[in-house]
Structure 1
Amino acid sequence: MSQYIHKSHDVSVLLYHFVCPVKYRRAILRPERVDNKLKETCIEISKRYEIRFLEIGTDKDHVHFLIQSVPMYGAKKIIQIVKSITARKIFQDCPEVKEQLWGGEFWSDGYFVNTVGQHGNENSIINYIKKQGIKNYRQLHTQQLTLV
């Protein structure tokens, strides 16, 4: 379960479920190298920003993120940070991906976001992410969250 984030002027539990499709819905998330780079980059993002990845799961052409953050980051800002940094790192370290996505963009322009309630909905979303495309699904990361 996620925990309350205590700041000097607020206490919050803000959870978001994002689904981000790869550009052209290309099935490029299967190579372990791409999956691992995505996970590493998300962990780096957690260290730089107050964005914590509670669950990351990939299907062959899209990624599910369960993210906890603070009120100063809205959903739009969170996904801008995540998509821009992960795309840059994947293109730097996996040049074969850039060749498959000839437009120079890793992610599609759109995304799905849903707020997640802490006491019932969070576990349902985690289970949903884990069961998404079971045949092709791969859990990249799960973390019990503690923000200071």
Structure 2
Amino acid sequence: MMISFPPDMTPSSVVKSFKGMSARQWFKEYPETKSQLWGGHLWSPSYFMSTSGNVSKEIVAQYIEDQLTKYNGGRPRH
């Protein structure tokens, strides 16, 4: 996943928002899964984030697409 956010937002606040919003949406659509997941949590409390350095957005996007295809039997995950 590649994201960008304003410099006044902290990485931890971005991750917290993403995890919170996506978990709420997931459990709204699939409430039966809450009891099947790790203590009712969709996400683990940890995360990893890194900058892309001097690499273009296009190169990073292509790398992500290649990884998605590589681990999905050669099919893009769209």
What's the TM-score bracket when you normalise by the shorter of the two chains?
Answer: 0.7 to 0.9
1:71 aligns with 2:71: no
Q: Flag the structure with higher strand content.
A: 1
**Per-residue Cα deviation, 1:68-125 (whole angstroms, up to 9, x for no partner):** 11111111110010001111110111124324314110011111101124x6342222
Assess, with a 3 A threshold, how the Cα gap between structure 1 residues 81 and 105 changes in structure 2: closer, same or farther: same
Structure 1's consecutive aligned runs of 4 or more residues displaced over 3 angstroms after TM superposition are: none
Matched, 1:86 2:25: no
Q: Which residue of 2 aligns with 1:138?
A: 77
| Aligned match of 2:48 | 112
The answer to whether structure 1 residue 123 and structure 2 residue 58 are counterparts is yes
Q: What letter matches 2:66 in structure 1?
A: K
Q: Using a 3 Å threshold, how does the CA distance of structure 1 residues 75 and 86 change in structure 2: closer, same or farther? A: same
Does residue 95 (structure 1) correspond to residue 66 (structure 2)? The answer is no
Amino acid at match of 2:59: S
Q: Which runs of 5+ in 2 are unaligned?
A: none
Label 1:121 to 1:106 Cα distance change in 2 as closer, same or farther (>3 A).
same
Gap change, CA 1:116 and 1:86, over 3 Å in 2:
same
Q: Alignment RMSD, CA only?
A: 2.0
Instruction: State, as a whole percentage, how many aligned pairs show the same letter.
Output: 34
Q: Provide the rounded CA distance (Å) in 1 between the counterparts of 2:14 and 2:61.
A: 19
Per the normalisation by structure 1, the TM-score is: 0.44
Q: Paired residues, what number? A: 74
TM-score by length of 2: 0.76
Distance in 1 between residues matched to 2:24 and 2:5, nearest whole Å: 22
Q: Whose RCO is larger (CA < 8 A, sep 6+)?
A: 1
Query: Going by fraction, where is helix more abundant, 1 or 2?
Result: 2
Residue by residue over 1:24-81, the C-alpha shift from the partner in whole angstroms, topping out at 9 and shown as x without a partner, is: xxxxxxxxxxxxxxxxxxxxxxxxxxxxxxxxxxxxxxxxx21111111111110010
